[in-house]
Structure 1
C-alpha cells in the first residue's frame, strides 16, 4: 500500500482479506496498526519503507539500487520483504514499532530538511546579485562532493569549513554578515554551526578553540 499515510487505513479497509495473505504499507512513520483491518481478517501485516527521496517515477526507479528499506513484521513477513528488497538492489533493516518514528525523523532530516537547507543557502545568492537557481547550480557540485566524502571518508572526516579548521575570524565575519543582511538566518546558522563543532572536536579542534567559537556564536543569538 503506497498511498499517503492518512489513506492507508481506508484503502486497507476497502479490501477483503483472508488468512495466508500479507499486506505491507510503505510509510516511514506509520505503525502496523494502520493495517489492523487486514490483520483482523487473517492477513499478516508488514511495513516496507524505502529510505529515499522520490521526486518523480522516472527518478525513483533509477535511485532505488543501493538504498535502505525499513522493514517491520513477523519473521515470515521480514523474510519475504527482505527478499523483495534484495531483488531490487536494496538493503533491508529491521525496525521495532518503538523505533519507527525516530527512523523516519532521520530520513526527513536528510531528505526534506536538507532540500530546504539547499533552498535557503541558494537564496543567500540573491543578496549579492544572483538568482536562487544560479545559487543552486553553484552548490549542487558541493553537495555531490559532500555525499562522496561522507561515503568514502566517513564522519567526522568529511566535515570541512571554518569550524574544523579553527578559523575564528571567518566565523566572526559570517555572523557579522548575517546580522547585517540576513538576521532571520542567524538562528539556523548558529544551530548548525554548533552541531558542526561537535564533529570538529572529533577531528581535533582544541577545547580553547571550541570555547571561542561558542562565544562568537552566542553573540549571534538574537532570540
Structure 2
C-alpha cells in the first residue's frame, strides 16, 4: 500500500547520505509500505548500494532527488548538514519537507532551506544504528522525536502516523537536554560497561568471555528497569547497606574510577531515599527538586545508621 500527502500525490521519501542511519531508515520505511524515491551521496558506489538495498533509485545530482521527493532526510554527519542545507536552498523547495536526523542540532540549522520554501525538521530516531542491516522488527518498537514546523496535516506527522511508530514533539530550546539524555544512556553507558568489563578482565578473562559472563546481568537489569522502573529494580551493596563491601570496592578501584563510583553510588542512595520517602507518605515540594533530594536523603540516613556511614564515606565525610 502507498500513502498519500493530503489525499493527493504519493509520499516519496528521499535520502541524502547513504550511511547506517539512512539505509536502515530507508529499508524500514519500505518495509512499512512507504515509497522511496532514492539516495544521493558524495560516494556514488555507496549511494548506488543504498539504492539497491532499498529497491529505490540512485541519483547523480541533488536537484533530481529534490524534484522526485516530497520528504528529504539528511542522514549525514552533523558537520555536513549546514553544507547540504546551503546546496538545497539553491532550488525551489515549496511543498517539500526537509529533515535532518541529528539529535543534537535544532531544525533551524536548515534555515536556508526554509527560506527557499521548505518545511524543516529535526527528526531523531532514538536508537543506536551500528549497521546498515538493522533488524527491521527492532525498529518497530523505537520512538522518534520531532522538532520543527509542526502544522496541521504535516507530511512528517502523517508519515509517522502511517508507519505506526510512537513519537513525541520537542522544543528547539530543549535540544541539548534531549541529546544529553540519549548520550548518557547510550554512549556513556557503553563507557561504563567498558570500565566494569575491564575489572573482570583483570582476572584473566578476555573481552569476549567477560562480556558473555556479564551479558545476563546487564540484560536482566535493563529488562527489570524497563518493566518495573528504577526504584523497584534496586539491588546491590549500596541498597543493602553493606558497608564493608563498599569499603572493599573503594580499596581496589583505580584512582581515576573512584569519583565515578562514588557519584553513581550516591545516585543509588538518592533513588532509594525517594522510594522510602514515598512509602512513608512524606510530602514533597513539587517545585523544588534540590530540597526534595535533601529531605529524602536526610530521612533515609536518619533512620538507617548503616546508610549514614555509607553516605559519609561516599561524600568524603570523616
Query: What TM-score, normalized to structure 1?
Result: 0.89
Match status 1:186 vs 2:283: no
Q: Give the corresponding residue for 1:10.
A: 83
Q: Give the corresponding residue for 1:21.
A: 96
Q: 2:310 aligns with which of 205, 209, 213?
A: 213
The CA deviation at 1:39 is 0.4
96 and 166 in structure 1: CA distance in 2 versus 1, 3 angstrom threshold: same
Question: Size of the alignment, in residue pairs?
Answer: 217
More helix by share: 1
Q: Give the corresponding residue for 1:131.
A: 206
Q: 2:139 aligns with which of 57, 64, 67?
A: 64
Larger radius of gyration: 2
In structure 1, runs of 5+ residues without a counterpart are: none
Once the two structures are superposed, residues 80-129 of structure 1 have per-residue CA deviations (whole angstroms, 9 ceiling, x without a partner) of 32333344442111000011110110000011011111111111112222
The CA deviation at 1:45 is 0.6
The CA deviation at 1:210 is 3.4
Equivalent-residue separation in structure 1 for 2:93 and 2:108 (angstroms) = 17
39 and 73 in structure 1: CA distance in 2 versus 1, 3 angstrom threshold: same
Q: Give the corresponding residue for 1:38.
A: 113
Match status 1:96 vs 2:171: yes
The CA deviation at 1:217 is 1.9
218 and 94 in structure 1: CA distance in 2 versus 1, 3 angstrom threshold: same
Q: 1:197 aligns with which of 266, 269, 275?
A: 269
Match status 1:106 vs 2:181: yes
In structure 2, runs of 5+ residues without a counterpart are: 1-73, 277-296
Contact 2:148 2:172 in 1 (8 A): no
Q: Give the corresponding residue for 1:51.
A: 126
The CA deviation at 1:9 is 1.2
78 and 96 in structure 1: CA distance in 2 versus 1, 3 angstrom threshold: farther
Equivalent-residue separation in structure 2 for 1:10 and 1:69 (angstroms) = 24
135 and 165 in structure 1: CA distance in 2 versus 1, 3 angstrom threshold: same
Mean Cα deviation higher: 42-51 or 162-171: 162-171
Q: Is the partner of 2:233 in helix, strand or coil? A: coil
Once the two structures are superposed, residues 165-223 of structure 1 have per-residue CA deviations (whole angstroms, 9 ceiling, x without a partner) of 22222111111222xxx222111111111111111213439323432112222349xxx
Once the two structures are superposed, residues 44-96 of structure 1 have per-residue CA deviations (whole angstroms, 9 ceiling, x without a partner) of 11111011111112236443121111101223388432333344442111000
Equivalent-residue separation in structure 1 for 2:236 and 2:170 (angstroms) = 35
Q: CA RMSD in A?
A: 2.1
